[in-house]
Structure 1
């Protein structure tokens, strides 16, 4: 059963939803961007219903200034108090819950990393936002990260059809060589105060166990892989060959199964 409730955060009243279930491990969903707690196209509301149906309580909320919540919207970098208050409200509303695992996509994933320590027992981090600026307002670069372009070049070179075009002279070989050579240069290191550098540092000292989920065709995920490469060896990573940033459509089943596995570990 789904209940609507509210809780306080720094003088503001925040709106929340609790999908009840008997399990002692609960899922806290943190919305990304300026999305309300139901998520894009009700994706998070549907995910919550499925997770609760599998036996795990789910708590969602609108941070300050978003949706049905009071206060000013300060973006994901000021959402630490909102997340902490939501955790406390979850424990108060579902007293049988002994473990809470949080899930966040995009800048919600970044918020969960940046605002540690939080009273959480695990993290599920999807497509973390590493571009400077708020994901709800900042635009992605016109081109994918260099690593993604490089991978595309290499894939084409392994494709028999592309090789046949090269042999037939249908591909400008000199242009191809120049393009690949330009991509050999390593990316410039992130500035110490950049979002990417801060997320990189947060992962290095992360307390609770965490899993990273990446839609490998998504530019936000590609940028994370390029900006925070050591995270890929520090933490377990689940990859999905998809460009769906929010794991929409058929990808929703993959996301559901991975989150359920993390909750039952």
Structure 2
């Protein structure tokens, strides 16, 4: 069963969707959407994962944050969505009073938003996929680790080596790229704030990384190495596209919800 409802966030009205089966558990998933993506997700991906979880007995609540999709107000940007997340959590609990635990899932800047704000809004756990680590909404450079992988792949390609030897490569551009690849990634104040807030969070935390995704690579470059909460997947899809990656994501979510 899929039910649409509205709820208040300050003076604005937000729109949410509750996916639920007749026989449902007492642990639910709050699905926080990243960027300016609507609650159904790219190509309906979030709607499909919500339906799949609901069929497994997990109620799922997803919503459009302020200024996005059907919700009113002005989009505050991911760093200022504490009120949106808190309002959605309250609406979820009001719509389903039997809930005892709520786990939140977010990808990209939704994961970053949860890391920033989850320590004091009443969530019981977090699943964070490919967290965004830049101060702005746009990535202007690739992380050094990604550049090193790119250059190693080129050196293993005979055609690329031939281009280099025959003058088909811009040497000035190559030199700049090599300097960037050799540099250490800079840790932003955003990352420091995210880490501090996550330290204060008392619930369970799972971090999912698509190892071929640029955003995940940027996160891994500035996050403490060896964090046991990280679970990697050999996927280049930012949203874990494809049947195998979707199955892996579903299983990770079910593990966090148990």
TM-score (norm 2): 0.85
Structure 1 stretches lacking a partner, 5+ long? none
1:262 and 2:256 are equivalent in the alignment? yes
CA 1:43–1:80: 2 relative to 1, 3 Å: same
Shift of 1:18: 0.5
Matched length = 246
Contact 2:115 2:195 in 1 (8 A): no
- Whole-angstrom distance in 2 between the partners of 1:26 and 1:253: 19
- Whole-angstrom distance in 1 between the partners of 2:43 and 2:180: 40
Q: Give 3-state SS (helix, strand or coil) of 1:255's partner.
A: helix
1:225 and 2:220 are equivalent in the alignment? yes
1:81 and 2:75 are equivalent in the alignment? no
Render the CA deviation track for 1:105-162: whole Å, top value 9, x for unaligned.
000000001113221110000000111213xxx2x23x531122334556788x7x87
Render the CA deviation track for 1:26-81: whole Å, top value 9, x for unaligned.
00000000011101111100110000001100001111111111111111111100
**Partner residue of 1:210 out of 186, 198, 205:** 205
1:4 and 2:4 are equivalent in the alignment? yes
1:239 and 2:232 are equivalent in the alignment? yes
Q: Give 3-state SS (helix, strand or coil) of 2:73's partner.
A: coil
- Whole-angstrom distance in 2 between the partners of 1:181 and 1:41: 38
Q: Give 3-state SS (helix, strand or coil) of 2:203's partner.
A: coil
Structure 2 stretches lacking a partner, 5+ long? 166-170
Match of 1:40 in 2: 42
Shift of 1:11: 1.2
TM-score (norm 1): 0.83
Render the CA deviation track for 1:221-247: whole Å, top value 9, x for unaligned.
00001122x1x5344111111111111
Contact 1:210 1:235 in 2 (8 A): no
**Partner residue of 1:130 out of 118, 122, 133:** 133
**Partner residue of 2:143 out of 145, 148, 156:** 145
